């Protein structure tokens, strides 16, 4: 398997949670990227000072939401941003799109965040991120061609990304925080996976759950939460599982299951 090429995408479009939310909410109305692009440039939806900055945000939107083949489609996640669910759940839904679609971000997230959360007082500094980029450069020489300033900016951007998703204490503190997946965020991805594969077991084994910090115990608790909320029927006895969604699609659940 060919190794990924690491690029400084965080410096092109930024960490941009607010900007991505704005673009998604506009995209939900029509589902047309070209129309969204014209709208963003003509109306300056993002309130940016230059057209170059708007184009960078649009490129980040395409990379995160239109090219994320293993995640729910852009129009579905866009409609989730209008659904009656807690704002914290909407933010959690966006996390995999920011992490999974950038090979360097997902590498650093696994190595520097998930691996450290096992420690009682997990923390991460800017210098430790820079040190890890240099270490990765032994296997990915493209990182060694970055200037020291670019590595510094990328490290700052990575920590800013963690803080946006409440995975790290506010600056200047460096403590990492666990993500406690909310029922709505869990249901969005679980129902999407079941709709795509039609298999409870495939959904349970999907690689998205480690990114969302959901272990087997938490998934079991969240499945029972969904049962209590009437989103599905779920029973389990050892290896025997009965699971039946009460909505035909994620879109139907977004429209009718959260009211």
Residue 219 domain flag: yes
- Residues 57-61 have a mean pLDDT of 93
Contacts 24+ apart (CB under 8 A), 199-205: 200/241, 200/243, 201/241
C-beta atoms surrounding 22 within 10 Å? 18
Give the pLDDT confidence score for residue 50 in this predicted structure.
87
- pLDDT higher at 9 or 220: 220
Give the pLDDT confidence score for residue 255 in this predicted structure.
95
Domain boundary (51, 81, 111) is at: 81
Q: What is the reported pTM?
A: 0.94
Domain boundary (42, 59, 81) is at: 81
Give the pLDDT confidence score for residue 2 in this predicted structure.
56
Domain boundary (81, 106, 140) is at: 81
Give the pLDDT confidence score for residue 200 in this predicted structure.
92
Containing domain of residue 219, as a range?
A: 183-257
Residue 117 domain flag: no
Residue 248 domain flag: yes
Give the pLDDT confidence score for residue 96 in this predicted structure.
97
Model confidence at 231, pLDDT cuts 50, 70, 90, reads: very high
Model confidence at 14, pLDDT cuts 50, 70, 90, reads: low
Residue 24 domain flag: yes
Q: Angle 19-44-78 (CA atoms, 0-180°, nearest 5)?
A: 40
Lowest mean pLDDT among 43-52, 102-111, 146-155: 43-52
- Residues 215-242 have a mean pLDDT of 94
88-101 pLDDT, tens digit each: 999 999 999 999 99
Model confidence at 1, pLDDT cuts 50, 70, 90, reads: very low
154-175 pLDDT, tens digit each: 999 999 999 999 999 999 999 9
Residue 32 domain flag: yes
Residue 92 domain flag: no
Domain count, the chain: 2
Name the average pLDDT for the chain: 93
DSSP per-residue string spanning 166-212: TSBPSTT--BB------HHHHHHHHHHHHHHH--HHHHHH-THHHHT
Give the pLDDT confidence score for residue 120 in this predicted structure.
85
Nearest Cα residue to 17 out of 50, 64, 53: 64
């Amino acid at each position: 398997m060919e190794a990924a090429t690491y690029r400084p995408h965080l410096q092109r479009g930024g960490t941009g949670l607010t900007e991505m939310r704005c673009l998604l909410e506009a995209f939900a109305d029509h589902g047309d990227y070209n129309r969204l692009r014209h709208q963003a440039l003509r109306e300056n939806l993002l309130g940016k000072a230059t057209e170059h900055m708007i184009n960078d945000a649009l490129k980040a939107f395409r990379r995160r939401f239109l090219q994320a083949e293993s995640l729910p489609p852009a129009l579905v996640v866009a409609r989730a941003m209008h659904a009656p669910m807690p704002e914290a759940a909407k933010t959690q839904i966006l996390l995999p799109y920011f992490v999974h679609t950038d090979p360097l971000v997902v590498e650093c997230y696994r190595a520097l965040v998930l691996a450290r959360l096992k420690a009682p007082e997990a923390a991460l500094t800017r210098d430790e991120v820079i040190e890890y980029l240099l270490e990765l450069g032994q296997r990915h020489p493209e990182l060694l061609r970055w200037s020291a300033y670019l590595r510094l900016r990328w490290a700052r951007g990575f920590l800013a990304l963690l803080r946006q998703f409440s995975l790290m204490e506010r600056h200047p503190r460096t403590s990492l925080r666990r993500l406690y997946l909310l029922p709505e965020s869990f249901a969005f991805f679980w129902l999407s996976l079941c709709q795509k594969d039609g298999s409870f077991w495939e959904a349970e084994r999907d690689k998205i759950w480690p990114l969302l910090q959901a272990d087997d115990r938490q998934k079991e608790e969240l499945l029972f939460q969904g049962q209590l909320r009437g989103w599905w029927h779920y029973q389990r006895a050892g290896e025997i599982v009965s699971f039946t969604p009460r909505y035909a699609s994620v879109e139907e659940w977004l429209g009718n299951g959260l009211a």
